[in-house]
Amino acid sequence: MTVADEARIELTIKLWGTGAVERFEEYVAALCDLLPRHRGELTRRVRPVDGGPGSPDTVLVMSFPDSVAIDGYLRDPLRADFEALGDAAIARSLITDGRQRSAADGDGTVTPIRPLSDQPVSNQPVSDP
């Protein structure tokens, strides 16, 4: 491992699919195709993740040279080109990175990409009856 490799920042994307396997793989490929535009690399992919119910269907670990590259990747306007594909393929995602955060940033949240049609979308915790 070189000094340049050690200096890279990792971005982890956990994805839960809708069951549309081909569309899921197309979406993952589209995410990976954007990496070179931002000097990013796919470091690892774990699929499917064994951990029982609720575990993600795949975990992507990407690396970038700096925070600017990560921000550019996450805000790339070309991602809008495959938004409909993501709606069909991804039920939920969680993105985390290795940047330092202050206590004011708080913990990340899991955001549904496509809400279930029969359940209202709410930021309130779900309680068991």
Which range (9-23, 67-81, 102-116) has the least confidence?
Answer: 102-116
123: in domain: no
Q: Which of 53, 69, 56, 64 is nearest to 28 (CA)?
A: 56
Domain range holding 55?
A: 3-99
In a domain, 43, yes or no: yes
Position 114 scores a pLDDT of: 43
Q: Residues 34-39: contacts with CB within 8 Å, 24+ apart?
A: 34/73, 34/76, 34/78, 34/79, 35/62, 35/73, 37/72, 37/73, 37/76, 37/78, 38/64, 38/69, 38/70, 38/72, 38/73, 38/76, 39/64, 39/65, 39/69
Is the confidence at residue 9, as pLDDT, over 60? yes
Read off the tokens for 104: 């004011």
Query: Would 110 be classed as within a structural domain?
Result: no
CATH assignment of the domain containing 55: 3.30.70.100
User: pTM score, two decimals?
Assistant: 0.69
- What is the per-residue pLDDT across 18-52, written as a single tens digit (0 to 9) for each? 999 999 999 999 999 999 999 999 999 987 766 66
Number of domains in the chain: 1
Distance of alpha carbon 11 from the chain centroid: 8
